Each structure stands twice: as C-alpha cells, then as structure tokens.
C-alpha cells in the first residue's frame, strides 16, 4: 500500500522522522501535527521517515491473481494503466490495485504479467475491467482467495534469470 493511501484511509497513526537538523521526532495527530499533515503529500521533502506505526485490520477474502498477456499488448496495457490512475478513466476505487510487470528475458521482451488485487470478494470489478477484458490471455489465475495465497503466488512467479520493471498504481481521491 502506498504511504499516501495510508493517510487517506487513516491507517497511519505515527511517523518517526529524522529532520534535516538531525533531530528525531515522532509526528502524529497530537505531536508535531503540522509535520504529520505535511508528510501526506511531501514525499521526502521534510526529512527521512524511519518508522511508521499503522493500525491493523483483518483482511478477509479478496479477489486477485495474475493474468499473463503477449508482449504485443503493451500499448493497451499502458492505456489501461493511464485510465486506471485517472478519475476520468476507470474511476476511483480504493479497493483496486494493479502491478504491471513487463517481462524481459535474456533474449528480449517476452510477455506482460499483471497482478490484480481487489480487496473485496468481488469478481471482475469495473475499476479493473480495462485490464481484465483484454485478450488474448496466456494465463489467468484470478480467484476469490486470501492474502496469504496471493503472497505465495507472487513470490513463486519470479523465474531465475529474469528481472522485473514494474509500475504499481492505486487510484484514490485526495481531499
């Protein structure tokens, strides 16, 4: 989950940050609250965050997996990613995430392996339609499952000799 998303959802409750002066402070809603609010969109402009304290919650079932596409789908994959990240495209859906992986092997470009996760137990949600409707698909493991299962699948999908360049996108509204 992106740090900005943690703020939006109220899951981030405290940051420990090293300021430019070398001082270490804890920023939260009560102590250094202006700094805590500034971290929401300031990336690394205010210091180095060395610790995050987060609220936890039980995830429950979700919908996720991988879909493998031919390399020739790269232009439509990139368009779907652009649509996903813009409010004028697929729309804002806090439950959806996409990891685009463009697989380049020892002999050059091979395929696109996208991981989709929807943190509700809902199959083929509209926010992911621009991706999941694309054909042809070499492989599709999308299913209702749990986070442990998705994590195991993600780790198993790294073949020896390959390196991934991926973009991760969340679509969310910032108030």
Extract the residue ranges of the chain whose pLDDT is less than 70. Answer: 1-9, 40-44, 87-91, 157-175
Structurally, what CATH architecture does the domain formed by 3-54 represent?
Answer: 2-Layer Sandwich (3.30)
pLDDT of residue 11: 78
- Tell me, rounded to whole angstroms, the distance of Cα 25 from its chain centroid: 28
Q: Where in the chain is the domain with CATH 3.30.465.10?
A: 3-54
pLDDT of residue 65: 96
pLDDT of residue 162: 59
pLDDT of residue 2: 44
């Amino acid at each position: 989950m992106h740090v900005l998303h943690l703020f939006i959802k109220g899951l981030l409750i405290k940051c420990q940050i090293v300021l430019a002066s070398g001082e270490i402070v804890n920023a939260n809603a009560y102590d250094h609250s202006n700094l805590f609010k500034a971290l929401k969109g300031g990336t690394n402009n205010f210091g180095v965050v060395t610790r995050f304290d987060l609220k936890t919650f039980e995830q429950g079932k979700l919908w996720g997996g991988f879909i493998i596409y031919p390399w020739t789908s790269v232009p439509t994959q990139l368009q779907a990613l652009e649509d996903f990240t813009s409010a004028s495209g697929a729309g804002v859906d806090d439950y959806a995430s996409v990891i685009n992986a463009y697989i380049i092997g020892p002999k050059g470009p091979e395929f696109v392996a996208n991981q989709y996760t929807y943190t509700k137990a809902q199959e083929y949600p509209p926010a992911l339609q621009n991706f999941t409707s694309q054909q042809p698909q070499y492989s599709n493991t999308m299913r209702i499952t749990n986070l442990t299962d998705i994590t195991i699948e993600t780790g198993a999908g790294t073949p020896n000799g390959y390196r991934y360049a991926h973009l991760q996108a969340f679509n969310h509204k910032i108030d």
